[in-house]
Structure 1
Amino acid sequence: MRVQRMVLPLSLALMGLSGCNVYDRWSGTEFNAGPIDVTNFPADYLGSGGNRQIAGLGAFQAKLASAGEQRVEYFLFQLPTTLRTTAGLANALTLRRGATAVQATPSAYVFDGCDAPANYAFDLERDGINMGEQGTIFTRLPTATYATGATPTYSYVPIVSKVQVTSNGVACQQLKSEEAVVASREVVVPLTAPVNGKMVGIPDSTYHAYAVIDPGSGVYHAEDLVSADDESLPLTGVGIQKWGWYNQYLLAYIDGGQVPTTTTTNSAGAEVVSIVTQKLYYPVSGALGAGEDVLQAARGQPGYSPVCKVYTYDPGAATELPTSAAEIEADYAATIKAVTGASSLVYCLQAENQDQ
C-alpha cells in the first residue's frame, strides 16, 4: 500500500487528553476541546496499522472497484461483532420496527449553511479546520469493549439518523455539541417535547452512512486511481474525510451518502424500515477488496447504497474480468453464490469526490 504519512492538522496526535472521562462537559462556551479520544475505538475505525493507545498511526485507503465502465473506490467496514451471529445477521438490515429502533441509529445534526468570517479563505496550515463551513455534530462515537484475553466486541454501526439544522445566522463552527444546538437561537431545529427537562432534535427520517474514524489517521484514494508522478496531488491523507464534532471534541468521518430504505408492514401491523443494499461481486479465486470487485452502482447513480450484499462468481479461464454487475449476471449467472456468515454484508462507503 503506497501512502505518505500525513502532517497532522491541529497537532491531532499530539494533544493529550486527561481526566477520568474525557467527554465530561468542559466549562465555558463552545470552544474546541481538542480531538476525540480513540482509546476505545474498534480496530476498523482506527485504520490499517492503527493503535488505540497512540492516535494517528492508522491509515484508511479506499478499495478499487468497477461499476459499469467506471472505475470507482469505496471504503470497506465490516459488520460489528454483535451482528456477526445468526440472530444479528437476521436483523442487520432492519433499522426500525414500529417505534422501536432495531439498530443503533444515533442522531447527527447536519447544517444547511453558516456565516463565514468576512473575506474568509480556508488555509489548512493556518486554520486546521474550515471556518467557512459547519461540521456535522454527532451524538455517538465508535466504542468497543476491550478485555484481557478476550476478542474485542462492539455494536457500532456507521449509520446515523439525520437531524436537519437550518441556520439563522449562526457563525461557522460556533456550535460543537448537541446541547448547544438545541439551546441556540441562531439555528432552527425541530425538537422533541421535554423528557426529564431535556429536548433533542427530531430526525428527518433519512439515514446516512457516516463512519467516524480516528481524526489523526490519513485517508487515501485507491492506489491505482492516483498517479505517483502527479506532483499536483499532495498525498497528505487530508481532504477525503470530513470534520465534525462530538460534545465539543473534533472528529473525522467518511461520508458514504444516504442509505436507501424501504418501508413495509409486518404481520403485526407495524411499519418496518429496512436498508436497501447493492450487490458487490468478486471472483471466487480472488478476495474482497483486492481490486477486482464489481459494484452495481457508483455513488450518484440509481441503485447506489453504502451497504453491500456480497457475492462471488467464477469467471473460469476468462483473461479479462467483467466490469459490471449486468455482465456478471448475464455471463456467469450459474456460478454466482451469496457469501454466507459475517462477510455476507459489508459497509461499502463511496466518499464524495474530495481533494487529496
Structure 2
Amino acid sequence: MVNTNRPLEGIRVIDLTRFVSGAYTGTLLAMLGADVIKVEVPTEGDPYRNQGTAFVDGESALFTALNVGKRSVMLDLRSADGLSALEALLATADVFIENGRPGSLKKLGLDSASVTARHPNIVYGSISGYGQHGADAGRGGFDLILQAEGGLMSVTGEPDSGPVKVGVPVLDIGSAVSCALGIVAALYRRTANDGTGAVVSSSLLEFAVSTFSSIAPAHFVNGDVPGRIGSHSPTFAPYGAYRASDGHIVLAGAGSEDLWHRLCEAIEARELLEDSRFTTNADRVGHLEDLIAELEFRFVRHNRTYWIAKLSEFGVPAAEVRDLGQVLASAQVEALGQVQVDPAHPGGQKIIGAPIQIDGPLPFPGPAPRLGEHTDQVLAELHVLKRP
C-alpha cells in the first residue's frame, strides 16, 4: 500500500542538476517520496559540496539542505562507459531533471529532444535563467542576475536606497517549485492518458515576471511603472512597516474603511479620522509620508508586544518583524513540523521541510548522500558489475 503522504513513491528521478534551483527541485520530489538519483561527476561532484559558510562532518550544510533524500551516483559523462550507465538509468526512470544552459547537453545526447525520442515515457524537466527559447535563452542566470533583469530589484528597497535584492534566493526557490509542480502535473497526465511523457520547463525569469501578477494590471491599464516602494504599499494605506519602541511591526490596516476606523480607535488617535489628508484610502496614499509620521509618533510609545495585543483586540491585522532565529523557534513553525531533524545524524542535523502537507507533514526524506555513496548500489540494481 502506498504511503499517503509519500505520493511519488515508486517514481524514479534522474537528477543531473547543480546549485539551488535544480537541486531543490529534486529535493521536493524526494520529499514527496520519489527515488531521486543524483548523478555527479567524479572527484568534486556538485560544487555546493564545498561551498557555503557552515560545514558538518566536512560536508557543506548548504549542500546537505538542498539534497536530502537523494542517492548519489558518480559517473564520468565524458566517457562512453559513463554515458552508457546513464542511459541504462534513464531506461528505468520516470523523470529526468537538469538545469544547464539550454543546448549545453545536446552534444551528450541529453537534451530534451534526444532523451524523449529514446525514452518517450520520460518527463523531462529543465530549469534555466531565461527560459528555453528567445534571444537570451543561452545566457547563464543566477538569482541575483534575474532579480535585476526580472524587475524585482526595481521595486525592492526604499525610494532613496538604490536597488536592493530580496534577502533570500526567491527566484531559485520559486522556479524549483514551479518545475516540480509541472513535473507532477505531467506525471498525472501520463498516467491518465497513453503513458507518454512531456517536456517541462521553468525559469527564473518566468517566475520573476509571475511575482508581478498583482501589480502588472495597473501597468496594463494605465502604463504605471512602480519604483522602489519600500515597506509600504503604493495602492493601500496604512499597509506597511512601522517603528515601535523595540523594533518594527507591520500593519495591514487598509482592507476597508472600517479597519482604518478601528486602527484609530486602537491607537487612541480618533482625531486622524477628522483629518482631511486621511479621509479615504486614496487620500492616505497621497499623503503617505504624513500618515507614516503620524502613526509612528504613536507606535514608538510602546513595544511590539503591547501593540500586537492592542491591535488584535480591535481586530486590526498586525505582526512583529521577526528574524530567522525567531521564525524557526516559533510555536507555529514547530506546530507545522517545518523544521525536521535527521534521526540518523549524531548531531541531529536540521533541515527545512517541504512547504506543503499531504495528510500531515511529509516525512523526513533521508539524509543527503556522500559523493558517490550509492554508485555500487544503484549500478548493481542495473546489473552493472563495476563502476564505469
Classify the TM-score, shorter chain.
under 0.3
TM-score by length of 2: 0.20
If you compute each CA radius of gyration, which structure gives the higher value, 1 or 2? 2
TM-score by length of 1: 0.21
Higher RCO structure (Cα 8 Å, ≥6 apart): 1
Q: As a proportion of its length, which structure holds more strand?
A: 1
Q: As a proportion of its length, which structure holds more helix?
A: 2
